[in-house]
Amino acid sequence: MIEVLVSDLKLNVSEAVPDHVFDLLGSDDEEEEDPSITQKNSNKKGKSSKKKSNNDCASARMESPVVEVGNLEEFVLRPAPQSVTIKCKVTRDKKGMDRGLYPTYYLHLDTDENKKIFLLAGRKRKKSKTSNYLISIDPTDMSRGGENFIGKLRSNLMGTKFTVFDNGVSADKGKPDRSNVRQELSAVIYDTNVLGFKGPRKMTVIIPAMNEEQERVPFRPRNDNDGLLCRWQNKNMENLIQLHNKTPVWNDETQSYVLNFHGRVTHASVKNFQIVHENDPDYIVMQFGRVADDTFTMDYNYPMCGVQAFAIALSSFDGKLACE
């Protein structure tokens, strides 16, 4: 019944609700801030099948070892180490002549010292039939042909399905050994909401599987009919992992649907989400949510990498009229 009830969702605050509980929902992108907000959920670290308490999980997240970036390109393409949460912030820059329509998004590593360590930048291309975002490891170079171009996010015509690519070339332009053919790093599917309710977005995320060395299995389609979206539609999921957004739960005390972000999200928004695997819904592979008008937190865990998580976050900013 969630699809029916979300349209009536209201944000409430209750002193009886502990642990900084924030509601998943709000209005759309330019929503007014609602001072009455609430939140609730658990997060489990690692691959262990043993369930942990909420306090254990929150403690494990806070005690993650210091993250060393080193080579930036390698870092953002490398899956997060097991049992380590990579905590980041996304900022949206809408200043300038055309940035109201085409803002630039910046991803920085969150550090305990409050230092901003730049990781990635992304911007929507202006002359493109579908939504197309370029992703770069240089905030001053957002060109498709630049040496800092590291990937892109491309949508379908409806704006409901997205594919994340690295910086390789298309299959028809590749070398005979296909070594320079682009990899598909992820696909994101937003279920259409035919009733038009504004509520929790239903998301499906497809990523390549991991090998025994905990490395991502390269996924290089031979043509457009062999991509992640086609594999998913045809239920051919060999060497692929299917994830989805965690369904919010009803909280009687706050009279709202809630998710627990452990204090990492402070503002209600339809953009707030957590990505999980259906076999282990307490292990948060990725979470994203608003903390200010143009600032969002983005955390990811194994087996996701920074480019995958950032591109998935970018997809949530895109206007999807068919979904809302």
CATH code at 293? 3.20.90.10
In a domain, 144, yes or no: yes
Amino acid letter, residue 155:
S
Number of independent structural domains in the chain? 1
pLDDT digits (tens, 9 = 90+) for 42-54: 333 333 334 444 4
Contact residues for 162 (Cβ-Cβ < 8 A; gap 6+): 131, 153, 154, 155, 156, 187, 188, 189, 311, 315, 318
For residue 164, being part of any structural domain is answered with yes
Residue 290: both structure tokens together: 């608003």
Give the best-scoring range by mean pLDDT among 16-25, 64-73, 101-110, 294-303: 294-303
Q: What pLDDT, on the 0 to 100 scale, is given for residue 8?
A: 25
Nearest one of 242, 214, 216 to 228, comparing CA atoms = 242
Range of the domain at 130: 69-317
Q: Which of 5-19, 115-129, 236-250 has the highest mean pLDDT?
A: 236-250
Contact status, residue 171 vs residue 188, Cβ threshold 8 Å: no
**Distance between CA atoms of 109 and 72, rounded to whole angstroms?**
11
pLDDT tens by residue, 3-53: 222 222 222 223 333 344 455 555 454 443 433 334 443 333 333 334 444
In a domain, 38, yes or no: no
Q: Give Dmax (Cα) for the chain.
A: 64
Asked whether residue 285 is assigned to any structural domain, the reply reads yes
102 versus 228: the higher-pLDDT residue is 228
pLDDT (0 to 100) of residue 193: 60
Does the pLDDT of residue 56 top 70, yes or no?
A: no
Q: What mean pLDDT do residues 201-220 have?
A: 94
Report the pLDDT averaged over residues 300-307.
Answer: 98
Question: What pLDDT, on a 0 to 100 scale, did the predictor assign at position 268?
Answer: 83
Is the confidence at residue 211, as pLDDT, over 90?
Answer: yes
Report yes or no on 15 lying in a domain.
Answer: no
Between 239 and 11, whose confidence is greater?
A: 239
Q: Dig out the tokens for 283 from the structure.
A: 């292990």
Say how far apart CA 187 and CA 207 lie, in whole Å.
Answer: 7
pLDDT score for 199 = 56
Q: What is the pTM of this model?
A: 0.80
- Arithmetic mean of pLDDT, 241-258: 87
Does residue 52 lie within any of the structural domains?
no
Structure tokens at 298: 């983005």
Q: Give domain status of residue 129, yes or no.
A: yes
- Do the domain assignments include residue 106? yes
The pLDDT of residue 1 is above 70: no
Q: Which residue has the higher pLDDT, 36 or 319?
A: 319
User: What contacts 246, CB < 8 A, 6 or more positions away?
Assistant: 41, 259, 273, 274, 275, 276, 281, 284
Of the listed ranges 108-117, 188-197, 313-322, the least confidently predicted one is: 188-197
Average pLDDT, the chain: 79
For the record, the structure tokens of 257 come out as 């649907």
